[in-house]
Amino acid sequence: MVQIFETKQVEGQHILTIRATTTADKLPELLGEHFGEVYAHILQHGQQPSGMPFSRYFAMEDTTVDFECGMPVAEPMEGAGRVLAGELPACTVATVTHLGPYDDLPQSWGALFEWIGSQGLEIAGAPWEVYVTDPGAEPDQSKWRTDIHVPVR
C-alpha cells in the first residue's frame, strides 16, 4: 500500500467524549460501547454529530491505554455523566490515511512516527484516529479508512 504523509492545519472542533483507561485487548469493545453512549447523548439533545467518530490517545504504556473516544458536534454541548464536552485543538498535524482492517493500524502508526522523525518534527499533543468508514455499513475491511492525526511543531 502506498502511504502519503503530509502536514496540514486542522481547525478546532467541539467534541463530546468518554475518557477511560483500559488494557489494549479490551479497547475495541470499549470503543463500540462508548461511541454508542456518546451518539445517544447527542441525539437526546436534538443534534447530530458534525463528523466521524474518533479516538484520541493520551498514553500507551505496556498494555494500558489512556484514551477518549467521541464525536465532533457543530456547537458546544453540555456533557452528562461519563459524557464530557471538550475540543479537539486547532493545530498543525502530521497525517496519514490507513486503508484496511483496524488490526493493521499499528503499521501505519509506526510509519507515520518514523516519517515525523525524518522530517525533524516534534510531537506536540495527543494523537487521534478518525474512523471515516462505518464498519457496520462496509463489511469489506480492506475498504475501511482511518485517518491518523499527530499534532506536531
The 10s digit of each residue's pLDDT in 24-71 is: 899 989 999 999 999 999 999 999 999 999 999 999 888 899 999 999
Q: Is residue 141 part of a domain?
A: yes
Q: Are 19 and 67 in contact (CB under 8 A)?
A: yes
Give the global pTM: 0.94
Q: Is residue 139 part of a domain?
A: yes
**Number of domains the chain contains:** 1
Q: What residue type is 61 in one-letter code?
A: E
Q: Is residue 1 part of a domain?
A: no
Q: Is residue 20 part of a domain?
A: yes
What CATH number is given to the structural domain containing 127? 3.20.80.10
Q: What residue type is 103 in one-letter code?
A: D
Non-local (6+) Cβ contacts of 60 within 8 A are 24, 66
Domain range for residue 19?
A: 6-151
| Cα atoms in the 13 Å half-sphere on the side-chain side of 34 | 26
DSSP state of 100: S
Q: Is residue 30 part of a domain?
A: yes
The 10s digit of each residue's pLDDT in 75-119 is: 999 999 999 999 999 999 999 999 999 999 999 999 999 999 999
